Amino acid sequence: MKNKFMKIYENISKQILDGRLIAGDMLPSENELAESHSASRETIRKALKMLSEDGYIHKVQGKGSIVLEMKRLDFPVSGLVSFKELTQKMGERAKTYVETFEKINPSPALQEALKQTEDELVWKVIRVREIDGERIILDKDFLAEKYVPLLTIDICRKSIYEYLEEDLGLSIGFAKKEITIEEPTKEDRKLLDLEGFHSIVVVKSHVYLDNASLFQFTESRHRPDKFRFVDFARRK
């Protein structure tokens, strides 16, 4: 069970990440936050301290806590963009390191995620994304072999989507995404530059081909100060 201050930290950081709180906004006072979260001021102070350490806010003596602007990668919520396409568009210096590359029999959880049986093989690819010298994204990709019969480490270093579309002639259609904020795992801390960070943004995606065939499950784990999801919404 999570500590109360961690839940408050995650609630406020999520408001900043999804744009409900923007750079320059002042957070409510400690008393107001304590009342709205049914918590003590000491608990609120712990949450604010973590938010400050992770670069979300800056505490101004006598005024309160102000939301900070940070340089982040803009990930479109509604679109499907590869890491290579995104970094090229934004002009970022990026590298990809392949930590794991293997073909596996899916676990029960992965069978459920990909709607496959135990006997249907799956490619497991774990990649670390480095931008401007900092390792900030951990991507875990699982692709159904029946749709992707051949894959290489070199392809994984470059762009899997580029290979699927240009070499295999697959048409990637749409994805269902779930975004959460979690505490970093030992694996996160081992593979990413997370010193001083207490949370990580997790994006889970079920990706489908144009014909509605589910071919990929991805778990993408992002350092929060370099992450922002953007979307365009129209009222119907």
| CA-angle at 212, arms to 210 and 216, nearest 5° | 90
pLDDT at 81 (0 to 100): 55
Residue 184 has pLDDT above 80, yes or no: yes
pLDDT at 146 (0 to 100): 96
**Nearest Cα to 218, choosing from 154, 129, 119?**
129
- Of the two residues 40 and 79, the one the predictor is more confident about is 40
**Residue type, position 95, single letter:** K
Q: What percent of the chain has pLDDT over 90?
A: 53
pLDDT at 73 (0 to 100): 54
pLDDT at 44 (0 to 100): 93
| pLDDT digit string, tens, across residues 75-90 | 555 555 556 655 555 4
Q: How many CB atoms lie within 10 A of CB 87?
A: 18
Question: With 0-12 CB in 10 A as exposed, 13-18 as middle and 19+ as buried, what is 233?
Answer: exposed
Task: Walk me through the domains of the chain, giving residue ranges and CATH numbers.
Answer: 4-67 (1.10.10.10), 73-230 (3.40.1410.10)
pLDDT at 236 (0 to 100): 55
Cut 0.75: pTM above it: no
pLDDT at 107 (0 to 100): 95
Residue 155 has pLDDT above 90, yes or no: yes
Confidence of residue 217 (pLDDT cuts 50, 70, 90): very high
